Structure 1
Amino acid sequence: MKKITRLLFLAGAFMFTAFSMAQTVVTGTVMDAEMAAPLPGANIVEKGTTNGVSSNFDGEFSIITQSTEGEIVISFVGYTKVVVKFSGSTSLGNITLTPDNTLEEVVIIGSGVIDLAEDRKTPVAVSTITANQIREKAGNSDLPEVLKQTPSVQSVQAGGFGDGQMFLRGFDQTNTAFLLNGQPINGMEDGKMYWSNWSGVLDVANAVQVQRGLGASKLAISSVGGTVNIVTKTIDRREGGFVQQMVGNDNYIKSTAYYSTGVNEKGWSFGALFGYWQGDGYVDYTQGQGQTYYISVGYQPNDNHALNFMLTGAPQWHAAAGGNSISKYLDPEKNNGRGRRFNDWNFSGANSDNNLHGGVYPGGRNIYHKPVANLSWDWTINDKSELSTVLYGSMGRGSFAQAIDNDRNGIIEYVRGSNNNHNWYGLVTNYNNQLTETLNFNVGADVRLYNGIHFRDVREFVNPDINSVSASSGYSGNYELTQAGGINPWTVFFDPNTDHSQRFGYDYEEQINYAGIFTQLEYSKDQLSAFFQGALSNQSHVRTEFLNTSTPGKGEEGGKVNNIGYNLKAGAAYTITDMHKVFVNAGFYSRQPFHDILYVNDRASNELYNPEIENQEITGLEAGYQFGGEKIQANLNLYHTTWAKRTLVDNNGLDGDEYVGEQTFGVKQVHMGVELEVFTQPLNNLRVNGFLSLGDWQFKDSAILREFDEDGNQIGDDQVVDIDGYDVGGAAQVTAGINASYEFLPRLSVDGAWNWYNDMYSTGALDQPTLAMPSYDLVDAGLSYKMLLGENGRNSLQFRLNINNVFGEVYLESVNGNMAASMNPEENYKGVNISNTGRFGYGRTWNTSIRFNF
């Protein structure tokens, strides 16, 4: 018996020894390249197996591998994966992960309704700006300025805070779709974007993706030029936050604080950001002030469900810059030596508690507060299907407050508010199913309910001798306005003027309801992928008049209209090798007209145009080539977009004492071009990127001009207007840029960017050709430094300096008008007649910030 026991013991010891000799233990520490600190919670997996572990609080890991030789894959949400070879038991030392330059895995909640290019194997023309780039470049600018380093994008800064405009492939932002976590945010009535309402969005953005042309979105949205997808924070994996202080030119200051609890053991997380800013503005008398708030609550009860509630808003007011002829900016006697800073839309000597700069009162101010809330739910049904839903709502309250001087004596009597309030609720849901290994299918719905409320009232009595204003109404004759609604965005939001008897000029509401369905089928096998998308929607409109009615205070509904719209998109891609891919996409949109051009006189009449305005037709064709090397990547895109059956409406016309509305029908534009985008990293600490966009954008054929009376009846016959060959104005048709960053010491880097704009044309009426504008180029520069603090460098101080338009380039940014160049050279500026209305771009501006990360 003893011999048998001894034999079994020796056999067991031998087997244990053999097993121990076969075991391989690989250790290491995962580090965050940006923070130069340990990265807890990283995933460490033996390649080709399900064998894996996670790094501990100090970033350390130890994994027993199933093979003595192989590869370890280290990954973390929002970071580029690293693959490291091992042979036998070994320590890999520090493995550094850098933030990913794409959006892959950044979005955690609501990802199914956020149409990102990375989510689809068939590519589109796209550029992605990451959180780190936004943080460094945004400064005291709006989103369009951050995007100007991408092909076919031009930012026009305009006059005051938040008044900037963005053009994409020559289309303005009313014809570019903007999405916030998959939620459409263009104005439902007119497609407009007011960046002053979204001044805090860059503080909470994880990334912004610009999809040019057809894009990846499945919604039947108002996209002609492309889609800009803004992806905000939702759930942070780790506890932490930051405090930041920024100062800039013209007395600009901004303070921001953010904190996130990370995800606790029960799956809950909380994040909040609060900020305050104010400044005088680059243009004279364009002061502004505002706040930013963001609150996020997440809950992950298990691996199959994730919910997140987000509330964000940016209450603000800012003074506006008036428009002037180019000659006024150029003549020191007319502009008091202020040049491009000149702004004469203001009043001096006004008696008010809200005077600015020692008695100067702004001629116009934008005052608005628009909180946006959404509830997102991701449900992983099984390993092949999932459902994502976002329920959202926003309540906009505010007005354009214009100083009124009826006696023309320089003394303001009161401030008139042109109020544009709204209640907007919507739902976007998407079901995704991996049908087979090669086929992926999804289907969803998009519902929007919108109520717009528009009226004029008194915002403030400025002259102490005036405490009421006489007005007239179609239902009650003359009456007195005695209430002032205020000019504080918080007051305007919580105490809006709901008394119809205190409104004048116009008072109406509109109900716009939208319901759509969309679907996509994508095929992928080996080197080939292809997709088909389709969307169908109905948009209904009804207008209710309150001012010109037979019964005081009772609304009367006008004509109703329903418009069916749809889009169809298809594309295919072929991967030649790991480094080379080609693709081609095509699409057609039947787009419903905006509400604001359906009615004859939107501020005084419920009458619809007769004949009715037709849907617009957009046809897009694009092809592309992608090159992905180790040190260089490049994207080459070709596009051709036809925008037909476009209608332009002028509801403000007068012929003598009679109202005449104009409708230019059947306008056609063709935009075509080539875009090249190159990313290089010649050295580990040097990045050099560049782009070139060559565009040819023209109006084609002829259009039809119709005139209407105030009841919507056509006056006279159709008039043919020849527009063939006119260049499309507003943005440069040829742009180029180079940007580089160099880290010459650990965590100390400099960067610079050069942008060139050429082939620019004015905007104006279509009865004459647009005007050629002078080209210009701008140089921006920046400096960054990060100081590590605390144990293991988990905390840090981050310094940033931005200088825009380093050399103070003087350039015409926009021109509105068609007056041809004069024979007298003194009446022209670089070939443009100075009688035209225009605006010069900003001179040298700067901002610097210090940020404590914890």
Structure 2
Amino acid sequence: MMRKLLLMALFLTSATIFAQGTITGTVIDSEMNAPLPGATVVVVGTTNGTTTDFEGKFSLNVATATGRIEISFIGFERRSANFNVASGQTQDLGRIVLTTDADALSEIIVIGRGVMDLEEDRRTPIAVSTITKSEIQQKAVGNVEFPELMKNVPSVYVSNQTGFGDSQMFLRGFDQTNTAFLLNGQPINGMEDGKMYWSNWAGMADIANAVQVQRGLGSSKLAISSVGGTVNIVSKATERNEGGFARTMVGNDSFLKGTVSYDSGLNDNGWGFSLMLDHWQAHRKYRQGTQGSGQNYFLSIGKLLGDHNFNFLVFGAPQQHMQAWSQPEETAREFRKYNQHWGVDQGEIISERTNFYHKPVMNFNWDWDISDDSSLSTVAYASFGRGGGTGPRGRGRIREPDYNIAGGISGQIDFDAIREANAQIGLGEPRNDGYIRRASMNNHQWFGVVSNYSHDFNENWSMNAGADIRFYSGDHFRQVIDFFGLTGWANDRPDGRVVTESFSINPWKTFFTSADENERINYDYSEDINYQGAFSQIEYGTDAFSAFFQGAISNQSYQREDRFARDANGNQTTKESEKTNKTGYNLKTGAAYNFNDSHSIFANAGFYSRQPFLDNIFAATAELATPAVENEEITGIEAGYKLTEGNFKLNVNLYRTEWANRFVANGNVIASYEGQDEENNPILGQEIDISREQTDVTQIHQGIEIDGQYRMSNKLRLGAYVSIGDWKYADATPYRTRDFRDNTFFTNADINDYRTREGETLSPNFFNGEVNLDGVEISNAPQTSFGINGMYNVTNGFKIGLDYNYFTRLYDFIDVADVVAQGSSYETTELDGYGVVDFTTAYDFNFGGNKFVLAANIYNLLNSAYISQTDAFGVFYGLGRTWNASLKYNF
């Protein structure tokens, strides 16, 4: 009997061994069509399992010929797949796509993938980091600026200034005017000056499914402003499954936020919609006088029709927030929360400096799968911006008694006292002691289309070609917000007309109502920009080698119309500038070699001839600059090494970017010379804004970036990075000085008519000359930074995370006048390095059969004090400890 049992055991053992096989596959994130590392793969009914590596791949030995595996990952729906593997053989299950869980933002149906230029769509690598939806919704929410979620990316620096939406982001030392930002393939940098106003995108974190930061040359085919890099923001679109959530959030300084979202799901006819509404408010962000409020709304309607996918979406974030500007360093150091721009008016807190804006964005995506080898993707878009920023006008500002604050700063603005003084004046004007709050308005409309055709000739060769067309028109003027008891405002128009109408700063009202031409003051002009671009790329790739060549060409026209111009007799008239055209182009090429599945190298090179921004084209409102401002020239080279070994991933990138023939403008203030009389110089004693402009500036940015990730288990993920840059100016450059009163340029003969704010005589070459910046360090972004971060899943529903970032070799603002005065002895001032710790946690739980998520974030946990940025007028201190907490109900 024992012998029979032994024989049976040997038979079963041999049968089991004989039946063993191997199954493999690749797990894909549906949102980004990218590999999903760290996903769990388990044979159903057993404890036999594994996890995917950083390429999303897995390999699992199985003990039976047939069965089923289950794939899971936090934030995604579970997916099962059957296997049937022959004994001793390997079965490849191919791509297994995981979609997002119903309690997260929805899966994208149509997002215009063909026009997004994501890194995964090209075989030849670039320096890139991708932030997933789960991290966005965990960290970049509420009273936290959207750029903050990118601060763990190598060579990214975020200066978290102290107004809602006023943060600045730098990439490889270049500010955000020279980094291209795209929303679903749509360029969203300002057409006039390349600026990004994050307050216009306050709800971005609630609709973003992914953010991909491409450093340097990137994979974008458009002829866009990507000197530092390209940031692709992929938004939510219409979801397949029905569901939604409601969330409430609180934070420091009375921050409140409420959000509701609903997705209908896709019906049998291929239709679906998604909707999100949100309101937020706070009595300040961190510093005094920075209260804000706003709403966010999002609507997406999708339709699947055979080989065609259509999606229309509209997104807007109307808001208003008070602002805090830089301070003298001694003031900021002692009074970290001080802000000189606000006061109390008839029991209500108001600020001289308030930003208010409403910029709804609409886009229509059409994806057409023409065949297995060809596709066409198009996004048509429109946006309508309405709003501006307030400021003082007139000489009648009154402050409360001196607070005895270091740096000579007085008390808050006494608006009630201003009303009393204005009542005695009656009719105010810029040259007397009257005081108003005005708004500098920027109303614009922007239409465009980006279309891309892709074709695979065979498994090795592919190409795409497309067009980028944009039409932009902007109106700029000033209007009165509050007269503070004056009967009107006079002598602030070429026709001398008295203005008596004031307007609201409510962003909803502003969208429909602003001053007509008879009620505008100080300036009134419009500008038109038309842009036409074409691009193409061809790529060759095998399993081991890939190479590409890419080119783009564009034409951009500029024109201005000044409605406050004067004719030969000094009467008001309308003057239109000549239309000028600038042609730009870019050329990029690169190659990569994969030694095996773990090791690969790549190198890319490119040249950009970039048209200047509109603001640099004109010397005065409707007069072209002489000599003309020419195209900037950007030359970039980069090389990288990628290592992927199991759950460990390492990237090493080297780069060098030369930015030549650059135009630079820096604001400053001087004071009128006291020796002139009122009749000849009616602005006697007033501060005058100037802009010192440099042409033919050359910057060289080079450095090394290293980042790595290690998933120790399903519970613990670790990451780290280090960035070391060497960013300096090269050679000498001429400079000139613009007078903002009439947009004309000073001559050196004007020097004797002016003095500095401190009453000092100006140097002979204050207005015009040449400055030698060779070897001077680039300011306002740290040239060395490093960070470590980790996320630990304590249980399936509870996780905690810590981030630590350290920044050093951050240099002070460079004033050209100081460089000229000090000559070869000039040295930039290095600011103190600093480190910041952030904490995050979330807990998913069920209560009464309902799903809830409780989350919290603490930023600058240790309340570190540090200077984050400087300008011509002072310093910005970074935010102290701030926090938010939220409760979310999923249905």
Q: TM-score normalized by structure 1? A: 0.82
- Counterpart contact for 2:108–2:237, Cα < 8 Å: no
CA separation of 1:414 and 1:104: change in aligned 2, threshold 3 A: closer
Whether 2:501 is the aligned partner of 1:483: answer: yes
Summarize deviations over 1:121-154 as a string: whole Å, max 9, x none: 1111000011100000113211211110111111
| Match of residue 477 from structure 2 | 455
* Secondary structure, counterpart of 2:623 in structure 1: coil
- Counterpart contact for 2:241–2:265, Cα < 8 Å: yes
| Match of residue 698 from structure 1 | 728
How far has the Cα of 1:649 moved from its partner?
Answer: 3.7
Determine the C-alpha separation between the residues in 2 that align with 1:644 and 1:32: 40
| The one of 388, 391, 395 aligned to 2:377 | 388
Question: Which amino acid in structure 2 is aligned with residue 705 of structure 1?
Answer: Y
Matches within 5 A, 1:438-837: 438-461=460-483, 463=484, 465-474=485-494, 476=495, 478-497=496-515, 499-550=516-567, 555-601=574-620, 605-649=621-665, 662-706=692-736, 719-767=769-817, 768=819, 769-788=827-846, 796-817=851-872, 837=874
Determine the C-alpha separation between the residues in 2 that align with 1:610 and 1:618: 23
Whether 2:262 is the aligned partner of 1:259: answer: yes
Question: Which amino acid in structure 2 is aligned with residue 812 of structure 1?
Answer: I
- Counterpart contact for 1:82–1:97, Cα < 8 Å: no
- Counterpart contact for 2:851–2:890, Cα < 8 Å: yes
* Secondary structure, counterpart of 1:600 in structure 2: strand
How far has the Cα of 1:470 moved from its partner?
Answer: 1.4
Question: Which amino acid in structure 2 is aligned with residue 110 of structure 1?
Answer: G
Summarize deviations over 1:445-476 as a string: whole Å, max 9, x none: 00110001000111233x2x3242113322x2
Matches within 5 A, 1:393-472: 393-404=382-393, 406-409=395-398, 410=414, 411=418, 413-461=435-483, 463=484, 465-472=485-492
Determine the C-alpha separation between the residues in 1 that align with 2:773 and 2:192: 27
How far has the Cα of 1:268 moved from its partner?
Answer: 0.3
Determine the C-alpha separation between the residues in 1 that align with 2:471 and 2:197: 20
* Secondary structure, counterpart of 2:565 in structure 1: coil
CA separation of 1:762 and 1:714: change in aligned 2, threshold 3 A: closer
Determine the C-alpha separation between the residues in 2 that align with 1:800 and 1:708: 50
Determine the C-alpha separation between the residues in 2 that align with 1:199 and 1:242: 19
| Match of residue 429 from structure 2 | none
Determine the C-alpha separation between the residues in 2 that align with 1:405 and 1:243: 47
- Counterpart contact for 1:159–1:283, Cα < 8 Å: yes
Determine the C-alpha separation between the residues in 2 that align with 1:755 and 1:224: 24
How far has the Cα of 1:69 moved from its partner?
Answer: 5.5
- Counterpart contact for 1:459–1:487, Cα < 8 Å: yes
Question: Which amino acid in structure 1 is aligned with residue 531 of structure 2?
Answer: Y
- Counterpart contact for 1:473–1:548, Cα < 8 Å: no
- Counterpart contact for 2:591–2:603, Cα < 8 Å: yes
Question: Which amino acid in structure 2 is aligned with residue 574 of structure 1?
Answer: Y
- Counterpart contact for 2:326–2:870, Cα < 8 Å: no
CA separation of 1:435 and 1:790: change in aligned 2, threshold 3 A: farther
Summarize deviations over 1:19-68 as a string: whole Å, max 9, x none: xxx9xxx9xxx99999xxxxxxxxx9x9xxxxxxxxxxxxxxxxxxxx95
How far has the Cα of 1:665 moved from its partner?
Answer: 1.4
Greater shift, 625-634 or 652-661, is seen at 652-661
How far has the Cα of 1:405 moved from its partner?
Answer: 6.0
Question: Which amino acid in structure 2 is aligned with residue 340 of structure 1?
Answer: R
Matches within 5 A, 1:152-301: 152-279=155-282, 280-301=284-305
- Counterpart contact for 2:179–2:228, Cα < 8 Å: yes
Determine the C-alpha separation between the residues in 2 that align with 1:784 and 1:755: 21
- Counterpart contact for 2:106–2:238, Cα < 8 Å: no
CA separation of 1:708 and 1:143: change in aligned 2, threshold 3 A: closer
Determine the C-alpha separation between the residues in 2 that align with 1:151 and 1:434: 34
Determine the C-alpha separation between the residues in 2 that align with 1:662 and 1:268: 56
* Secondary structure, counterpart of 2:508 in structure 1: helix
| Match of residue 118 from structure 2 | 116
Determine the C-alpha separation between the residues in 1 that align with 2:529 and 2:634: 22
Question: Which amino acid in structure 1 is aligned with residue 207 of structure 2?
Answer: V
| Match of residue 426 from structure 2 | none
Question: Which amino acid in structure 1 is aligned with residue 470 of structure 2?
Answer: R
- Counterpart contact for 1:471–1:481, Cα < 8 Å: no
Summarize deviations over 1:613-661 as a string: whole Å, max 9, x none: 1100001101111111212111111111110000124688888679997
Determine the C-alpha separation between the residues in 1 that align with 2:468 and 2:337: 44
CA separation of 1:31 and 1:583: change in aligned 2, threshold 3 A: closer
- Counterpart contact for 2:368–2:375, Cα < 8 Å: yes
- Counterpart contact for 1:472–1:504, Cα < 8 Å: yes
Determine the C-alpha separation between the residues in 2 that align with 1:582 and 1:528: 10
**Number of equivalent positions:** 749
- Counterpart contact for 1:78–1:105, Cα < 8 Å: no
Question: Which amino acid in structure 2 is aligned with residue 290 of structure 1?
Answer: G
| Match of residue 339 from structure 2 | 343
- Counterpart contact for 2:736–2:745, Cα < 8 Å: no
CA separation of 1:501 and 1:582: change in aligned 2, threshold 3 A: same
Greater shift, 700-709 or 507-516, is seen at 700-709
Question: Which amino acid in structure 2 is aligned with residue 626 of structure 1?
Answer: K
Question: Which amino acid in structure 2 is aligned with residue 851 of structure 1?
Answer: K
Summarize deviations over 1:235-278 as a string: whole Å, max 9, x none: 21211111111100111011111111111110001001000000
CA separation of 1:502 and 1:756: change in aligned 2, threshold 3 A: same
Determine the C-alpha separation between the residues in 2 that align with 1:85 and 1:630: 23
* Secondary structure, counterpart of 1:136 in structure 2: helix
- Counterpart contact for 1:378–1:386, Cα < 8 Å: yes
Matches within 5 A, 1:312-327: 312-327=315-330
Q: Among all aligned residue pairs of Structure 1 and Structure 2, give the percentage whose two residues are the same amino acid.
A: 44
- Counterpart contact for 2:325–2:876, Cα < 8 Å: no
- Counterpart contact for 2:110–2:310, Cα < 8 Å: no
Determine the C-alpha separation between the residues in 2 that align with 1:759 and 1:472: 46
* Secondary structure, counterpart of 2:302 in structure 1: strand
Determine the C-alpha separation between the residues in 1 that align with 2:585 and 2:80: 43
How far has the Cα of 1:566 moved from its partner?
Answer: 0.3
Question: Which amino acid in structure 1 is aligned with residue 889 of structure 2?
Answer: F
